[in-house]
Structure 1
Amino acid sequence: MKNLHEAGLSRAIRATGRVWIFGAALMAAGVAHAAPVQIQVWHTLTNANKAEFEKLVKQYNKEQNDVEVTLRDFTTPQALQQAAVAAVAAKKTPNLVQLQDNHSPEVVAEYKSIKPLYELLAKYPIKDATWFLPSTTSFTRDSKGRLLAFPYMAEIPVMFYNMALYKKAGLNPNQPARTWQDLQGELLKLRDAADVECPYASGDQVQVHLENLAPINNQLYTSNGNGIEATKGKPAPASLQFDTLYMRHVSLMATWKRSLLLTQHTNDDTPDASFAKGQCGVLTASSGALGELLAAKNLSFGVAPLPYYDQATKTPGKPFVSGSALWAMEGHPTVQDKATVDFLAWLSKPVIAAEWHQSTGYLPLTEAAFRASEVSFYSRIPGAQAVVASMRAQPTVTARGFRVNNYDRIEPVLSRELDEAFDGKTPPVAALTNAIDQARAIAQQR
């Protein structure tokens, strides 16, 4: 009996072992099937902003096991677009791509390879997302106000100023100039009293000296209500309109260039590095430059709105919100679309979105992100809170944004004409006339 009992027990143990092994195999198979959904994001972020984005993606991948985001970076928007065209042809598109504002978002959304974000959000809503700029993110919205892309890199042009150099020049670092005329007086003191070799540098010169000269002075940038007014349900054709305000401003900048007040001007972010090194007293650039400036050592700076002309307006207006956004691509399975929105929802969380805003200078994604940033961040950078908070106001007709066909091809032309005028090679009036004529011809092309 004992032997029979032991034999039965032995068989039971072996059977139990087989069940355990079989169960373990099933569990292993389950784990295999539960591998994270892979999504790919292509971007053109650089320097500190690139590092911040990579850090957040690593954090997202670490916090959960359902989705894994991989990044691919490109040196220029043009390189990304070329790769995207090839990917569409090969039917191997990424899930999200960063595209610059071309001031024709509805044209971008018409491409078969693009999936408008509002379609994804209708299926997979981002809960409790009260967007910070519902009215002024026109660069990612259609005429019906629907969100076409994720406005992750929304920014505005601002004026940064070096507080140490302001003190050295005997200027009040807590009261930077509000008008271009007053700024000239400060630049003269920076040049003469503080012996600063670079009193003023300007990046993103088309945004600063052409596009936003209009809304800051409460004027329209283009005809037909900045190209937004519709005719028979479609946006009306728009053309640039440079009046005496522009002639005055471009002439002033040419004078500053001759007198060594304006020493650097480009349509990219090259001057940001000079300001970050403490070499320049004032920098006008997009707010997205903040990331590089915060990463600089021994740099104390403040933020102010772009100057205005008090002869043109008694109360300055708000700038255009522009920048770039993450656009969703078509052709992916449902599980990837859902995973894409899950990633965007995570980026929208108050703490995460606040960190992104604070580290990069891009505008807050949501109201909650703005509130989460108030105490710990804005006290470090004089003027920053006031500039960001001012963008919450309902935009006027002049600050809603603008629409111009083929603007991505027009902008380089505008930048070249500014260079010609600032450098004294072409009279300001002639340069602006050339810009208008060339822009009109390009805008009429298909």
Structure 2
Amino acid sequence: MTSVRRYHLAAAACAAFLAFPAHATTEIQWWHSMGGALGEWVNDLAKEFNASQTEYKVVPTFKGSYDESMTAAIAAFRAGNAPDILQVFEVGTATMMASKGAIKPVAEVMKMAGASFDPKAYVPAVAGYYTAPNGQMLSFPFNSSTTVFHYNKDAFKAAGLDPDKPPKTWPEVAAAAAKLKTAGHKCPFTTSWISWTQLESFSTWHNVLFATQNNGFGGLGARMAVNTPLHERHLQNLANMAQQGLFVYKGRNNAADATFVSGECAMITGSSGLYGNVKRNAKFAAGISTLPYYPDVPGAPQNTVIGGASLWVMNGKKPEVYKGVGQFFAYLSKPEVAAASHQRTGYLPVTIAAYELTEKSGYYKQNPGTDVAVQQMIRKTTDKSRGIRLGNFVQIRTIIDEETEGLWSGKKTVKEVLGNITKRGNEQLERFQKANGG
């Protein structure tokens, strides 16, 4: 056969192949707020899912901080080009729940995909937070965290503290901070997420309310409940520590995390999700312990509240997109996938099976402290500690940041700060209630 004839046959075969439409891959746009090591984790999850099948391709896109990605998604939804999946931090949950036309409940999406879905398979404290009053799960638990206490074991040793005995109570934290300062530490203790760690989780950990109506779970009429002697005592203690150089405020949101990872600050209250960053980048031995508490408060410690984020599915998409999203969520729920994510990041295992698989593997024994977040969350919750779900919560957190910054700088008193948080927070809650027909 001549090369010319061979060429014509090949061209004919190619044309015949192109005449039949190839099976199109359905793209799924996923907007998220995971940077650094966590961004790599998100990209790897998408790659692994995409490699596991040929029908769907998940495309993750970093959209800035949680606040920024939520704002961008709302604007995109109004313009008719919202992503298919949106990662929303827990503070935005009540707002998303109220946006009925904007979202497709995850339970419906899983049904459309023909994927088996049992809300009881998920860690109850996690699933319950993202479940509507009618029992329908609205979003998919993805990177759920809780507040924990991270500390630098090497710094403890150098200050003459026992690296295997982290402080469990707030008086012990102050005592450890004083020893660290004497040993030359410029930043003995810091915290990220002031509202989440020092008011929200602080409240549930001590089994007291952060807001009325069981922290918003009971309805839209919730109002702030932090103007109490216990909250005043705690903020006054932190203010005293700030004046003595024992507590150093490092900024809003998770700005303080970098100062712990670098070794600048020796102790931090923050997210369990910081573990992945510490494990990968810290040049010292680190430990994880439970959130500190006041031992004389009845009912303490109780349980901490959820943090992190969940995945919301946006409305108005084609059926094949929902099928793909459902398949992706089913993939993320596989025990081996969920267990690997938990171990890599420090976020909670989203399913009970993932927790059990991790425990059986001996991971918790080999990595002491990595089960602290799980243990804090799986304690029996009360009506006061189930979680906090408020409208305009993002704005309320900003108010708390603004007011407490006046406290750390010595410009405001604790009474002023708690009074202002209550007044300004209630204005936001009233606004949300009116806007949503409450």
The reply to whether TM is greater than 0.5 is: yes
Letter in 2 for 1:158: V
Letter in 1 for 2:137: L
Q: 1:266 aligned to 2:266?
A: no
What's the secondary structure of 2:168's corresponding residue? coil
Which whole-Å deviations, capped at 9, do the CAs of 1:1-41 have from their partners, x for residues lacking one?
xxxxxxxxx9xxx9xx99x99887665555x4312211110
Structure 1 residues 297 and 432: alpha-carbon distance in aligned structure 2, compared to 1, 3 A threshold: closer
What's the secondary structure of 1:145's corresponding residue? coil
Which whole-Å deviations, capped at 9, do the CAs of 1:201-257 have from their partners, x for residues lacking one?
110111111111111111121112222235xxxx54333332001111110001111
- Select 2:424's aligned residue among 404, 425, 438: 438
- Select 2:373's aligned residue among 383, 387, 391: 387
Name whichever of 396-405 and 342-351 sits farther off.
Answer: 396-405
Q: 1:121 aligned to 2:110?
A: yes
Letter in 1 for 2:244: S
Could you tell me which runs of 5 or more consecutive residues in structure 2 were left unpaired when the two chains were aligned: none
Query: How many correspondences in the alignment?
Result: 425
- Select 1:72's aligned residue among 29, 37, 61: 61
Determine if contact 1:105/1:148 at 8 Å carries over to the other structure. Answer: no
- Map of 1:399 onto structure 2: 385
Structure 1 residues 104 and 95: alpha-carbon distance in aligned structure 2, compared to 1, 3 A threshold: closer
Which whole-Å deviations, capped at 9, do the CAs of 1:359-402 have from their partners, x for residues lacking one?
22211111121123233533354222243134223322222112
- Select 1:208's aligned residue among 170, 190, 197: 197
Determine if contact 1:276/1:293 at 8 Å carries over to the other structure. Answer: yes
Determine if contact 2:206/2:297 at 8 Å carries over to the other structure. Answer: yes
Determine if contact 1:256/1:262 at 8 Å carries over to the other structure. Answer: yes
Letter in 2 for 1:221: F
Determine if contact 2:304/2:376 at 8 Å carries over to the other structure. Answer: no
Name whichever of 156-165 and 239-248 sits farther off.
Answer: 239-248
Name whichever of 97-106 and 49-58 sits farther off.
Answer: 97-106
Which whole-Å deviations, capped at 9, do the CAs of 1:102-156 have from their partners, x for residues lacking one?
3653753533121111221233354376534224444322112321111102111
CA RMSD of aligned residues (A): 2.5
- Map of 1:342 onto structure 2: 327
Structure 1 residues 303 and 188: alpha-carbon distance in aligned structure 2, compared to 1, 3 A threshold: same
Which whole-Å deviations, capped at 9, do the CAs of 1:42-83 have from their partners, x for residues lacking one?
111111111111122112222321111112111223432343
TM-score, normalised to structure 2's length? 0.90
- Select 1:420's aligned residue among 401, 406, 414: 406
Alignment of 1:229-308 (within 5 A): 229=218, 235-308=220-293
Measure the CA separation in 2 of the matches of 1:399 and 1:26. Answer: 65
- Map of 2:153 onto structure 1: 163
Determine if contact 1:202/1:283 at 8 Å carries over to the other structure. Answer: yes
Determine if contact 1:188/1:261 at 8 Å carries over to the other structure. Answer: yes
What's the secondary structure of 2:57's corresponding residue? strand
Structure 1 residues 106 and 259: alpha-carbon distance in aligned structure 2, compared to 1, 3 A threshold: closer
The alpha-carbon deviation at position 93 of structure 1 amounts to 2.3
Determine if contact 1:133/1:365 at 8 Å carries over to the other structure. Answer: yes
Name whichever of 321-330 and 397-406 sits farther off.
Answer: 397-406
Structure 1 residues 122 and 352: alpha-carbon distance in aligned structure 2, compared to 1, 3 A threshold: same
TM-score, normalised to structure 1's length? 0.88
Larger Rg, first or second structure (1 or 2): 1
Structure 1 residues 392 and 237: alpha-carbon distance in aligned structure 2, compared to 1, 3 A threshold: closer
Q: 1:356 aligned to 2:328?
A: no
Determine if contact 1:240/1:440 at 8 Å carries over to the other structure. Answer: no
- Select 1:87's aligned residue among 50, 71, 76: 76
Letter in 1 for 2:31: W
What's the secondary structure of 1:372's corresponding residue? helix
Letter in 1 for 2:253: D
Name whichever of 381-390 and 399-408 sits farther off.
Answer: 381-390
- Map of 2:164 onto structure 1: 174
Alignment of 1:145-160 (within 5 A): 145-160=135-150
The alpha-carbon deviation at position 304 of structure 1 amounts to 1.1
Structure 1 residues 255 and 373: alpha-carbon distance in aligned structure 2, compared to 1, 3 A threshold: same
Letter in 2 for 1:223: T
Determine if contact 1:136/1:395 at 8 Å carries over to the other structure. Answer: no
Letter in 2 for 1:438: R
Letter in 1 for 2:264: Q
Name whichever of 360-369 and 99-108 sits farther off.
Answer: 99-108
The alpha-carbon deviation at position 308 of structure 1 amounts to 0.6
What's the secondary structure of 1:444's corresponding residue? helix
- Map of 1:108 onto structure 2: 97
Structure 1 residues 224 and 78: alpha-carbon distance in aligned structure 2, compared to 1, 3 A threshold: closer
Measure the CA separation in 1 of the matches of 2:104 and 2:243. Answer: 49
Structure 1 residues 359 and 431: alpha-carbon distance in aligned structure 2, compared to 1, 3 A threshold: same
Name whichever of 257-266 and 367-376 sits farther off.
Answer: 367-376
What's the secondary structure of 1:48's corresponding residue? helix
Alignment of 1:365-384 (within 5 A): 365-374=350-359, 375=361, 377-384=363-370
- Map of 1:133 onto structure 2: 123
- Map of 2:50 onto structure 1: 61
Alignment of 1:214-229 (within 5 A): 214-229=203-218
